[in-house]
Structures are given as C-alpha cells and as structure tokens.
Amino acid sequence: MKTIIANWKMNVGVRESVALARGTLLALRGRRILPEVVICPPFIALSEVHKVVARSVVFLGAQNLFWEDHGAYTGEISGRMLTELGVSHVIVGHSERREYLGETDEMIRNKVTQALANQLNVIMCVGETASERKSGEQRERVRTQLVHVFAGVRLKSHERLMIAYEPVWAIGTGEIPEVAEVLAMNEYIRSILTDVLPEMDANKIRVLYGGSVEGNNAYSFLREQKIDGLLVGGASVKLNQLKEIIDATSEVLDAQKSL
C-alpha cells in the first residue's frame, strides 16, 4: 500500500477546493490498484469537499486541530468538530505551523492526543532545518521531536499514525534529499518509534516523505518499499502534477502486484 496525502495549505478557496477534489477523483478513475489518497483542504472548504468525496475512495483530512474539545478558544477548531464534517485524518506538527505560529513539541503532543481521542488518523510531521542539516544534527532533531511528542501518548493501533519526514529545507524549494538519505532517516524514525511506542510494531507504522515532491521525482521515492507514501504540498494543487504523482504510484503498485 502507498499513501498520497495532498496538503493544499492556504492555497485554495472553497470553489477551487471542490474543483480539485473532483479532479482528484477523476485522476483515480479506472486504475487497477488504488493508492490511499487523503486530501487536506483549508478548514473553510472541508464541508463542501466532503460532499464531493463522501462515498468515494478518497479520505478527507484537515491541516490542523486544537488540543481541547470545546471552550473559549477563539479561532480554533477541535477534533470533535472535524469528525462532524467527515474528516478522518489530520496533519499535526507541520513545520510551517512550528515556524509561523510558534507550535512547540508540547502543543503538538496535546494535539496528537486530542486527535487520537477523536478517532482521527494522525499525520505527524518531523524534519530538520537547513542549519540543523548543515551542522549534522538532523537525526538528533527528528529524535527530539518524536520523543517529545510521543512521551506518554497511547496508541491503540499502528494504523492511526503516519509519520511524514519533511526536511524543512526541502519544503517548497525544489530541493530534495537523496532517496538513500530518506531511507536511512525512515529506518532511524522507526528505531525511535520502537522506543517511544513500545506497544506498537514500528515496522507497521507508515513513514512518508514530503518536500518538493513533483510528478517527475515521485517515482524515485515511491518505488522504495520502505517509503510508504508522500506528503505533497505545491504539486497537489496542480491537477496535472497530482495526476503524474498518482500515475507513478499506480506504476509502483501494479509492479508490486505482479511480483
């Protein structure tokens, strides 16, 4: 199985989101084996997009949630509210929220806990900045994020969690790491997960890659068995790019099937 997550960020409004959702469904039509696809529109479009993808193979994801169920938290949206809209997945700990909104590992832990309590599937992002990479601290950074976020978190099923390795320097820059680097980091992430979530089989937790994924580089990541899928930003709001990424996924899935 491969998972493709489309993070539309703050790039599209309601009308464009609906059109993109329809386009995504069309791009999946007629395929022998389907990848798991999760689309994450902005909050304001969730309700309309749900109407498009309800009863389809595409899952609806949110880009964020708050760590309380309800209360005086102006501007925030809870996990419970998201499930009311048909949302099944939520992105947590994205580096853009860490950078621009000051999200800390502790906040992210509370969000993960809240998401799990509401039966949402968590897509938790980790990754190092350019300077951390330059000074060779990428592993330490990712380890710290995972240890801080999952301390005390109880996960009932490995299916509820995906980790997206998104090096910050690769997001929206057109720069991508070597596939071998991603593979090594994925293995490292699984070794940390074995420690922090001892009740889980870390090999079963999906680890995705994200950062400047496009139609022309998706295959090189997807063909690796240990890369469970992709978290796609900019290219996911361009239907031709998204289609190429889905084509690459189908190619890999079809090849795996015929082995």
Q: For ligand 13P, give the closer residue by CB, 68 or 105.
A: 105
Residues interacting with ligand 13P, by CB under 6 A?
7, 94, 166, 171-172, 210-213, 231-235
Annotated catalytic residue, options 36, 94, 128, 132: 94
**Distance of closest approach, residue 60 Cβ to ligand 13P, in angstroms:** 16
Instruction: Name residue 124's beta-bridge partners.
Output: 92, 163
Cβ within 8 Å of residue 191, ≥6 positions away: 202
Known catalytic residue: 166?
A: yes
Instruction: Name residue 59's beta-bridge partners.
Output: 38
**Distance of closest approach, residue 127 Cβ to ligand 13P, in angstroms:** 9
Q: Which residue is nearest to ligand 13P (CB)?
A: 233
Per the structure block, which two tokens stand in for 229?
């899928």
Annotated catalytic residue, options 103, 128, 166, 244: 166
Q: For ligand 13P, give the closer residue by CB, 207 or 232.
A: 232
Q: For ligand 13P, give the closer residue by CB, 113 or 241.
A: 241
Known catalytic residue: 148?
A: no
Do the beta carbons of residue 139 and residue 77 sit within 8 Å? Answer: no
- Over the chain, what HEC string results? CCEEEEECCCCCCHHHHHHHHHHHHHHHCCCCCCCEEEEECCHHHHHHHHHHHCCCCCEEEECCCCCCCCCCCCCCCCHHHHHHCCCCEEEECCHHHHHHHCCCHHHHHHHHHHHHHCCCEEEEEECCCHHHHHCCCHHHHHHHHHHHHHCCCCCCCHHHEEEEECCHHHCCCCCCCCHHHHHHHHHHHHHHHHHHCCCCCHHHCEEEEECCCCCCCHHHHHCCCCCCEEEECHHHHCHHHHHHHHHHHHHHHHHHHCC
**Distance of closest approach, residue 253 Cβ to ligand 13P, in angstroms:** 21
Q: How far apart are CA 54 and CA 168, in angstroms?
A: 33
**Distance of closest approach, residue 13 Cβ to ligand 13P, in angstroms:** 18
Q: For ligand 13P, give the closer residue by CB, 200 or 210.
A: 210
**Distance of closest approach, residue 231 Cβ to ligand 13P, in angstroms:** 5
Q: For ligand 13P, give the closer residue by CB, 210 or 215.
A: 210
Hey, which residues are catalytic here?
A: 94, 166
